[in-house]
Amino acid sequence: MPAHQGRILLVEDDPALAGMMVDLLRAADYEVDGPHASVSDSVAALALHFPDGAVLDLHRPAADASVLRDDLEAYDIPFLECGENDAKEPQGLERQLLPWLRRMHH
């Protein structure tokens, strides 16, 4: 079995979008930690397993989202914040997610 490209922490509070994101990440040969629907679950997951990167797509404002961003920055973990309009269809996800994954390795 080939090695994964790395582990991605996925924070997505919409189950349908989370499924699409998991499929895209796995197709790109990444291990997915999540999806986590809340920031508190994501912070706990980050403490257990430091990922190689993170994808954050929170549609509802989360008061504690800055805590997660601060933790990712403190540990120099690259992250992508998807906007609500960016992730409504698989093509939009691919256009944003796949180039970021390629840049993350360089």
pLDDT tens string 59-70: 656 667 788 889
pLDDT digit string, tens, across residues 40-53: 899 999 999 899 99
Residue that has been written with the tokens 């960016």 in this structure: 86
Task: Report residue 56: phi and psi, to 5°.
Answer: -115, 125
User: Domains, the chain, ranges and CATH?
Assistant: 7-104 (3.40.50.2300)
Q: What is the pTM of this model?
A: 0.85
Angstrom distances, CA of residue 83 to CA of 3, 18, 31, 35, 79 = 30, 14, 22, 16, 13
For residue 89, pLDDT beyond 70: no
What number of other Cβ atoms are within 10 A of residue 36's Cβ? 22
Mean pLDDT of 29-39: 93
Mean pLDDT of 20-42: 92
- State residue 1's pLDDT score: 43
